Amino acid sequence: PEFDLAVRGGTLVTATDTFPADLGIRDGRIAAIGARITDAARTLDASGLLVLPGGIDSHVHIAQASGPGIVMADDFASATRAAAAGGNTCVMPFALQPRGASLREATHAYRALAEGQCHIDVAIHLIVSDPTPAVLGQELPALIAEGYTSFKVFMTYDDLVLNDRQILDVFDLARREGARVMVHAEGYDAIRYMTEKLEKAGETRPFGHALSRPQVVEREAAHRAISHAELVDLPIVIVHVSGEQAMEQIAWGRERGLKIHAETCPQYLTLTADHMKGLGSDDPMEGAKYVCSPPPREAANQAAIWRGIQTGLFDVVSSDHCPFRYDDPAGKLNPKGRTSFRWVPNGIPGIETRLPILFSEGVSAGRISLNRFVELTATNHAKLYGLYPRKGSIGIGFDADLTLWDPNRRETIRQANLHHGADYTPWEGFSVTGWPVTTIARGAIVAENGRVVGPLGHGQVIDRAVSP
Ligand code: DUC
Ligand code: ZN
Ligand code: ZN
């Protein structure tokens, strides 16, 4: 046969177009788009379904070191299994440089964890926590040349925070080397001040987390990051934008002609700070299930985030999957976590639920078009991080990374049906319309009807060129 696989009778959706067509797949790539493709070893019937570019989640945390006694709930096998079941074909986790250690060694050790352990493709970002002369002078340029072309910097956390001079030096290097920089914009000193004040006042429950990082903390850091980017003349991505006030800073920067990209996440569209009170339970510790940074805001803020999605302020919607088990001494309910929110690990699982939640609340609810959905969940991720035109759309020569999507299927999100390593989902009982039915990664069927069928090791670690 001419093709290994034909996908017949579906409606193809890209960031710009929606049209009925068959696909012919050969050697893991899209080889034909046409009216009637029949000469294939295997045929999938996509009638009544949308054929979307596979989801790319450019912001996930997998098997990342998380402080003494704390263990992240997913390794590469479980995270990519959950991602595949949720309609994704590529995820981008972070190799973290522990302070005082070599970024190069940490990165190569992290990559070794991924090799042979992934159901879908993985591309690795770096986290720079210690920009020493050796890191800035040798390690980082060498890693960028090796294909690690993007990295994240933090403006908070004891073990990760960079001061302003360090941020400027790292931005300057990124400009020279053509690397993409992601910024976690929350102010370290403001958080410390608030945390100590809240603890002194006895406000130690998980809800204190939300009080310790009000919008001004994110807004101030976003402004500072944007100003540093202007000084250095570097495009940046502000990740996990949670508040309307930070959005205003981004809009302000763009009006000045700066290239400021922005990411938000489903938690800022669907959760609120009140979730951290553990509502619906007698136990305030239940609120720890929703502790992530930045924290979800008041309900009215969700409308502002939706406006940013509709108007183009946001380029991408990622999950920021950062999974910890709840009922586990190495997770949310670690012994110190019970004494103060300060010790509750920050992050929530979401790698498998990102696409259904955004589709349902966005497309099915009439807030965004199908094309905008594809742009926000696949195309723009590929373009921002150097995966385009290999991934991120449907076209001749692209990787055959596809999700067959049933726009009418109604489902209720249940932990019992998810594939991640966490022991809960923040969206337990959340109803959605629209669901991924089949996930195809480089031409192979990796998930079908909630079952992951592709072999571990099918996914590859992808090196990237610097993004134009
Ligand atoms: N930042 C993230 O990107 N993820 C989880 C926690 C955090 O601070
Ligand atoms: Zn972050
Ligand atoms: Zn994150």
Q: In this predicted model, what pLDDT tens digit does every residue of 401-428 receive, in sequence order?
A: 999 999 999 999 999 999 999 999 999 9
Peptide bond just before 455 cis, omega within 30 deg: no
**Based on the number of CB atoms within 10 Å of its own CB, is 247 exposed (0-12), middle (13-18) or buried (19 or more)?**
buried
418-314-369 Cα angle (round to 5): 70
DSSP letters of 324-336?
--SSSTTSTT-TG
d(CA 436, CA 225): 37
- Ligand 3 center to 347 CA (angstroms): 8
pLDDT at 467 over 90: no
In single-letter form, the type of residue at position 431 comes to S
Q: Ligand 1: does its nearest atom lie under 6 Å from the Cβ of 237?
A: no
Report the SS3 class of residue 119.
coil
What pLDDT is stored for residue 173 in this prediction?
98
d(CA 205, CA 456): 40
What does pTM read for this prediction? 0.98
Going by alpha carbons, the residue nearest to atom 8 of ligand 1 is 293
- Residue 468 binned pLDDT confidence (cut-offs 50, 70, 90): low
What pLDDT is stored for residue 465 in this prediction?
85
What pLDDT is stored for residue 412 in this prediction?
98
62, 186, 293, 318: which to mutate for ligand 1, most atoms within 8 A of CB? 293
- Residue 130 binned pLDDT confidence (cut-offs 50, 70, 90): very high
d(CA 450, CA 361): 21
What pLDDT is stored for residue 415 in this prediction?
98
Q: Ligand 1: does its nearest atom lie under 6 Å from the Cβ of 319?
A: no
Of the two residues 265 and 67, the one the predictor is more confident about is 265
CB 124 within 8 A of CB 94: yes
Peptide bond just before 53 cis, omega within 30 deg: no
Predicted ipTM beyond 0.90: yes
**Based on the number of CB atoms within 10 Å of its own CB, is 372 exposed (0-12), middle (13-18) or buried (19 or more)?**
middle
CB 116 within 8 A of CB 133: no
Going by alpha carbons, the residue nearest to atom 3 of ligand 1 is 320
**Based on the number of CB atoms within 10 Å of its own CB, is 192 exposed (0-12), middle (13-18) or buried (19 or more)?**
middle
Q: Ligand 1: does its nearest atom lie under 6 Å from the Cβ of 320?
A: yes
% of the chain beyond a pLDDT of 70:
100
Beta strands in 336-450 (DSSP E): 402-412, 431-441, 444-448
